[in-house]
């Protein structure tokens, strides 16, 4: 997987040659072959076990034949307008991405150069580090507290160092923890006016029922500073395979800058139509959020009963201290047909991140994890 870049190595920029590879988790086909399991339980990518709204399949069916041979709308006008209406922002301040990951990348391309400083959190989302480093930027990662929370003092000091860009995920990935409104306001106030503040709300729909969880757009709306809030259709809306996310920016000049670096047809037409359909099905979203919330609470309690330390999560995944080397635990889980992600950041080598699935699959996961970790104690 991690092959050496020969013989092209001498051509590759130093920043690129030194990058860590993104870890997408184990391949389900390989895990099926390894385990002999009739059905692999994939808990590695925070996908929705409840799928997309039925309206999505219909939207895709209507557009399928045409969309294969025609380029998509390069401006994504209808989707941007639908998003604008639903959030009461002008469509001209909405930027669409081939997943919100694509917008993380566009933001780095538009804003960062060699030596620029980027501030983000650890443990964190690897692309918040990889994309800045592609541009030659330096990344400073602010650790979370011992209880997986936001460390206000450490963030204050890091922001005072004058970053050009700040990546903050709320809820955070991999911990699932949220910043409350006061904490978010401190980051906003502490981020230099000359810096771009990027608030990544990939899991916001799951956190919204929590009264402590702030609506990032509401907090940033009136701020006289550059910002962009990123959201996605991949997680709660269940469209991960179609690749569509969006950003709402502080001003149209930022959207225009992102448009300059954006590949013109970055979001295919099926994804655009599907996202409009998904956005319209409030009942499906509400049901996904409700069922996920119940499962998160239930599975976290069960794991804690078994003696595992589990970070408090307001998202659709759990960050679990297994008490053993996570790469070994993960390999053992693969042998039983379950895929989770072993965490690799320093200090978290015993942690796995497991996405929630259906109650049946989650129970199988808890049982196997408990067996594997009990065996490791002998
Ligand atoms: C999943 C995720 C995303 C975006 O995923 P896309 O599928 O590209 O929209 C962005 N940020 C974080 C923190 C995520 O976990």
Sheet architecture: strand order including 351-355 = 309-310, 317-321, 351-355, 341-342
Residue 2 has pLDDT above 60, yes or no: no
Q: What is the mean pLDDT of the chain?
A: 96
The rounded Å distance from CA 156 to ligand 1 centre is 26
pLDDT band at 116 (very low <50, low <70, confident <90, very high): very high
The rounded Å distance from CA 99 to ligand 1 centre is 7
Rounded-to-integer distance, Cα 270 and Cα 268, Å: 6
The rounded Å distance from CA 232 to ligand 1 centre is 7
pTM of the model: 0.96
Cβ-based neighbours of 124, under 8 Å, separated by 6 or more: 141, 167, 169, 172, 173, 174, 345
Ramachandran sector of residue 299 (left: φ over 0; alpha: ψ -120 to 50; beta: rest)? alpha
Burial letters 110-127, b for 16+ CB under 10 A, else e: bbbeeebbbbbbbbbbbb
Name residues contacting ligand 1 (CB within 6 A): 46, 99-101, 125, 169, 173, 200, 202, 232, 234-235, 240, 245
Region 94-113: mean pLDDT is 98
Residue 243 has pLDDT above 80, yes or no: yes
Determine the residue of 235, 266, 319, 355 to mutate for testing ligand 1's pocket, defined as the one with the most ligand atoms within 8 A of the Cβ atom: 235
What pLDDT, in 10s, does the model give residues 167-196? 999 999 999 999 999 999 999 999 999 999
The tally of CA atoms less than 13 A away on the side-chain side of residue 108 is 25
Residue 1 has pLDDT above 50, yes or no: no
């Amino acid at each position: 997987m991690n092959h050496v870049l020969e013989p092209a190595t001498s051509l590759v920029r130093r920043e690129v040659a030194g990058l860590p590879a993104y870890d997408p988790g184990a391949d389900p086909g390989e895990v099926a072959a390894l385990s002999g399991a009739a059905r692999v339980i994939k808990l590695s990518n925070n996908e929705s076990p409840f799928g997309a709204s039925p309206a999505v399949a219909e939207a895709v069916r209507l557009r399928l034949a045409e969309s294969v041979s025609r380029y998509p709308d390069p401006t994504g006008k209808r989707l941007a307008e639908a998003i604008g209406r639903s959030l009461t922002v002008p469509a001209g301040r909405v930027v669409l991405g081939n997943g919100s990951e694509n917008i993380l990348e566009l933001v780095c391309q538009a804003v960062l150069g060699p030596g620029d400083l980027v501030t983000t959190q650890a443990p964190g989302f690897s692309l918040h580090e990889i994309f800045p480093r592609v541009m030659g930027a330096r990344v400073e990662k602010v650790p979370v507290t011992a209880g997986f929370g936001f460390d206000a003092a450490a963030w204050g000091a890091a922001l005072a160092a004058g970053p050009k860009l700040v990546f903050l995920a709320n809820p955070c990935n991999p911990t699932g923890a949220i910043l409350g409104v006061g904490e978010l306001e401190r980051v906003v106030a502490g981020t230099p006016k000359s810096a771009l503040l990027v608030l990544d709300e990939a899991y916001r729909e799951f956190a919204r029922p929590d009264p402590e969880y702030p609506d990032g757009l509401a907090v940033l709306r009136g701020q006289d500073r550059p910002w962009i809030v990123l959201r996605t259709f991949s997680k709660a809306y269940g469209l991960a395979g179609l690749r569509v996310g969006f950003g709402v920016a502080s001003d149209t000049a930022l959207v225009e800058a992102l448009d300059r670096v954006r590949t013109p047809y970055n979001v295919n037409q099926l994804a655009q139509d599907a996202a409009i359909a998904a956005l319209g099905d409030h009942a499906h979203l509400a049901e996904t959020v409700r069922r996920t919330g119940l499962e998160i609470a239930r599975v976290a309690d069960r794991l804690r009963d078994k003696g595992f330390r589990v970070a408090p999560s307001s998202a659709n995944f759990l960050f679990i201290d297994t008490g053993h080397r996570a790469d070994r635990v993960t390999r053992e889980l693969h042998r039983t047909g379950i895929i989770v992600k072993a965490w690799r950041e320093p200090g978290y080598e015993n942690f796995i991140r497991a996405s929630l699935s259906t109650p049946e699959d989650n129970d199988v996961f808890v049982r196997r994890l408990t067996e594997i970790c009990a065996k490791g104690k002998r």
